Structure 1
Amino acid sequence: MLKKILFIAIVIVFIPFSTTFADSSSKLEKLDKISDEALQMVKIKRYDESEKLLEYFSDQFLKMTSEEKLFSMDELRIITVAHNEALGAVQDEQVSYEKKLNAATKLRLVMDAVYSYHQPLWTEMEGQIMQTFSATKQAVKDRDSDQFHQHVNKLLIQYDVIYPSLKVDVKPEKIQKLDARINYIDQYRRLVFAESSSQKELEALQTDLESIFVEITEDESDPSLWWVIISTGSIIILTLSYVGWRKYKGDKEKGKTDQEHNH
Structure 2
Amino acid sequence: MLVKNQKPKLPVLIFLIILLTAMSIPIFAHHQEGQAYDLLEEVYTVYELADANKYEAAREQLNQIKTALNTGHLSLSEEKLAYVLDVTENTIRHLESSIENHELKMDKVLAFVLMMESAKNPNSEMVVKWENQLTDQITNGLQSESRELQTEFYQVMDFYSIIYPAIKIKQDTKVWSQLDEQFINLNQIQNEEDMLHALNVMLQTFETLETPVDKQKDDDASLAWLIFTVGGVIVFTLFYVGFRKYKGEKKEKKIKKVDDL
Q: TM-score, normalised by structure 1?
A: 0.59
C-alpha deviations, 1:34-56, integer Å up to 9, x for none? 11110122223222332221122
Between 176-185 and 115-124, report the one with greater CA deviation: 176-185
Which of 62, 67, 84 aligns to 1:59? It is 67
CA distance in 2, matches of 1:117, 1:183: 23
Instruction: Decide whether aligned partners of structure 1 residues 61 and 173 sit closer, same or farther in structure 2, where only a CA change above 3 A counts.
Output: closer
Deviation at 1:172, TM superposition (A): 4.2
Between 68-77 and 80-89, report the one with greater CA deviation: 68-77
- 1:18-167 matches, within 5 Å, as 25-62=33-70, 64-65=71-72, 70-116=75-121, 118-119=123-124, 121-139=126-144, 142-144=145-147, 147-167=148-168
**Alignment partner, residue 248 of structure 1:** none
Instruction: Decide whether aligned partners of structure 1 residues 179 and 48 sit closer, same or farther in structure 2, where only a CA change above 3 A counts.
Output: closer
CA distance in 2, matches of 1:188, 1:31: 38
Q: Is 1:206–2:207 an aligned residue pair?
A: no
- Contact 1:41-1:49 within 8 A present in 2 as well: yes
Query: Which of these two proteins has the greater Rg computed from alpha carbons?
Result: 1
The structure that is helix-richer by fraction is 1
Q: Which residue type is aligned with residue 102 of structure 1?
A: D
- Contact 1:51-1:87 within 8 A present in 2 as well: yes
Between 69-78 and 179-188, report the one with greater CA deviation: 179-188
Instruction: Decide whether aligned partners of structure 1 residues 31 and 207 sit closer, same or farther in structure 2, where only a CA change above 3 A counts.
Output: same
Q: Which runs of 5+ in 2 are unaligned?
A: 1-30, 219-261
The percent of aligned pairs where both chains have the same amino acid is 12
Instruction: Decide whether aligned partners of structure 1 residues 109 and 138 sit closer, same or farther in structure 2, where only a CA change above 3 A counts.
Output: same
CA distance in 2, matches of 1:120, 1:78: 22
C-alpha deviations, 1:77-130, integer Å up to 9, x for none? 111111111111222232121221121112212222222254353222123312
CA distance in 1, matches of 2:175, 2:199: 16
- Contact 2:115-2:165 within 8 A present in 1 as well: yes
- Partner SS for 2:146: coil
Runs of 4+ in structure 1 deviating by more than 6 angstroms, as ranges, are none
Instruction: Decide whether aligned partners of structure 1 residues 150 and 37 sit closer, same or farther in structure 2, where only a CA change above 3 A counts.
Output: same
CA distance in 2, matches of 1:164, 1:29: 21
- Partner SS for 1:189: coil
Deviation at 1:69, TM superposition (A): 8.5
Q: Which residue type is aligned with residue 126 of structure 2?
A: L
Deviation at 1:135, TM superposition (A): 3.4
Q: Which residue type is aligned with residue 34 of structure 2?
A: S
- 1:8-19 matches, within 5 Å, as none
- Contact 1:106-1:161 within 8 A present in 2 as well: yes
CA distance in 1, matches of 2:185, 2:122: 32
- Partner SS for 2:138: helix
Deviation at 1:30, TM superposition (A): 2.0
CA distance in 2, matches of 1:71, 1:105: 21
Deviation at 1:174, TM superposition (A): 5.1
Deviation at 1:204, TM superposition (A): 3.2
Number of aligned residues: 186
- Contact 2:69-2:85 within 8 A present in 1 as well: no
- Partner SS for 1:45: coil
